Structure 1
Amino acid sequence: MKTNSRIFALLMMITLMAMGFPQDLKRLSYQAYLTQDKNSWKQNVALATQAHQTQPNERTSFDLALMEYGLLNATMVDQDERLFDSYVDGLEKRLKALSSSKTYGADAKALLSSLYGYKIAYSPMKGMFLGPKSSGLLEEAFAQAPNSPIVLKMMAGNKYFTPETWGGDKDEALALFQKSNQAFEKSGNEQDWMYLDNMAWMGMIYQEKGNEAKAKEVWTQAVKLEPNFHWVAKGLLADLN
């Protein structure tokens, strides 16, 4: 019975891959982001793992890495360090392997840089040695792919969360979030959860700078684009109103 189930799962994965399963993964990650449901993220990671096992190549490995990154990003909402620890080592290993890829190397380095930032957030003492690693990876990623929406997004996050004494700059972060979304738009990838996430952070920067009108404009645009974006619709924008 178990053998039959495995055969059925394998055939299903092959069929899904033939039908453009990477796009299905992107849609699933988009929905998981909207709900901030960690169980959905875990299920999506399992699907991406099966896809990679069915067709082990750089593309499926990168798709899996993106899904794992989305899950770890979701742990930051409620500081679920136990769940973070369950997946971080596997993602770190995967991103290191992908960092030498001609196709995915720059994005992998940028994601690895952000992953180190998450590690520092959970364990600030690690900043002493992971901070320089993170910065170095971002510099390499930007040199390789200065127009990548993922690279630009990770640079924006780094500038936002890094203290000013260590090179952080909210104005630069805002500009980079905007450039990231412009790059997403140019590539036709507005249906990416990172695109919405950029808009949320752009609004927060405007709010922190005292420009609530601009924050409201950006968040209203985000909700118009995606009415189910509850973090903004029922959280950030509702609190502003």
Structure 2
Amino acid sequence: MMRTFLMLLLSLPIYLFAQCEPGDYASFARQGYLQNDFAAWDAAIQEIMKLPEGPEQNYLLARTSFGALGTGFATESEDKMEAYLNLMETALKALLREQPKHAGGNGLYAGMLGMKIALSPVKGMLLGGKSERYARKGIQYGATDPIAQYQAGSRFHYTPEMWGGDGKKAVMHLEKALAAFSAEEKTCDWFYLQTYALLGQAQAAIGELEAARNTYLQALTEEPNFGYVKYLLLPELEKRGK
């Protein structure tokens, strides 16, 4: 099913909303996310590398690498995943050395550790607790930070219940994340769309099928070309409801 979905995505025309500035890293990242396009992700990273070195550049590198990692998982591209994971880790370590209380940075570090566990589940025993601590620090340092809230929700969603997973808490944090994005971020930020996608999955996982459906429909209102929702998540949900 994933292979068919990817072929469908690649056949779709690429439309970026007018609010996305052509050639800007955000527009490249959004294209990379919507099309599972490594070239677009790499273009976004190259644009970020042109920015002045420092915490903001490192944060954007980590944030964008996290999105590119998602494309790596979707396409099962191990070499790409390793490269993006290394870039993300390097950027986050530099960021947190300078700004240890950076809410989004701590949240992303939790997400990075989660990616490592996803790549090698045996690392869960070693890294799971560490990921939890960083997720909690992200919320502690910035309760209104959308990335910190997203990563907390993601951890509760993907962690088995026996290890502290909690579907209702996942939904709560993801709803807070969605509400915390700024008006500017909502116009072009791939992470805003991803938050819709994961919120819908978290709602469906605890049996809130109608809420999940509404979440997916709202996501398609925000971005009609959101193929992940339109061609995979929403059809799967509708099958469950029959």
Q: Which residue of 2 aligns with 1:189?
A: 185
C-alpha deviation, 1:27, in angstroms: 2.3
For 2:126 and 2:59, locate their aligned partners in 1 and report how far apart those are by CA, in whole Å: 26
Between stretches 98-107 and 59-68, larger displacement belongs to: 98-107
1:93 lines up with 2:107 in the alignment: no
**1:110-151 superposed Cα distances (whole Å, 9 cap, x missing partner):** 111101101111111111221121111112222111110010
For 2:136 and 2:199, locate their aligned partners in 1 and report how far apart those are by CA, in whole Å: 22
For 2:153 and 2:237, locate their aligned partners in 1 and report how far apart those are by CA, in whole Å: 23
1:30 lines up with 2:3 in the alignment: no
Equivalent AA in structure 2 for residue 27 of structure 1: S
Q: TM-score, normalised by structure 2?
A: 0.81
**1:175-210 superposed Cα distances (whole Å, 9 cap, x missing partner):** 11110011114x542132121111112222332333
Pairing 1:1-241 to 2, within 5 Å after superposition: 24-49=24-49, 51-52=50-51, 55-102=52-99, 105-185=102-182, 188-191=184-187, 192-241=189-238
Between stretches 150-159 and 102-111, larger displacement belongs to: 102-111
Aligned length: 217
SS state at 1:227 partner? coil
Between stretches 34-43 and 162-171, larger displacement belongs to: 34-43
**1:12-42 superposed Cα distances (whole Å, 9 cap, x missing partner):** xxxxxxxxx9x92122212221112122212
Q: Which residue of 2 aligns with 1:16?
A: none
Q: Is the 8 A contact 1:62 1:104 kept in 2?
A: no
Equivalent AA in structure 1 for residue 43 of structure 2: Q
Between stretches 100-109 and 130-139, larger displacement belongs to: 100-109
Change (3 A) 1:138 1:80: same
Give the fraction of aligned pairs with identical amino acids, expressed as a percent. 29
Equivalent AA in structure 1 for residue 165 of structure 2: G
Unaligned runs of 5+ in 2: 1-20
Change (3 A) 1:207 1:168: same
SS state at 1:189 partner? helix
RMSD: 2.2
Q: Which residue of 1 aligns with 2:14?
A: none
Unaligned runs of 5+ in 1: 1-20
For 2:208 and 2:56, locate their aligned partners in 1 and report how far apart those are by CA, in whole Å: 41
Q: Which residue of 1 aligns with 2:17?
A: none
For 1:112 and 1:168, locate their aligned partners in 2 and report how far apart those are by CA, in whole Å: 18
Q: TM-score, normalised by structure 1?
A: 0.82
SS state at 1:98 partner? helix
C-alpha deviation, 1:213, in angstroms: 2.5
Equivalent AA in structure 2 for residue 134 of structure 1: S
Between stretches 140-149 and 156-165, larger displacement belongs to: 140-149
For 1:100 and 1:190, locate their aligned partners in 2 and report how far apart those are by CA, in whole Å: 29
Change (3 A) 1:87 1:218: closer
Higher RCO, 1 vs 2 (CA within 8 Å, ≥6 residues apart): 2
SS state at 2:181 partner? helix
For 1:106 and 1:163, locate their aligned partners in 2 and report how far apart those are by CA, in whole Å: 25
Change (3 A) 1:46 1:188: closer
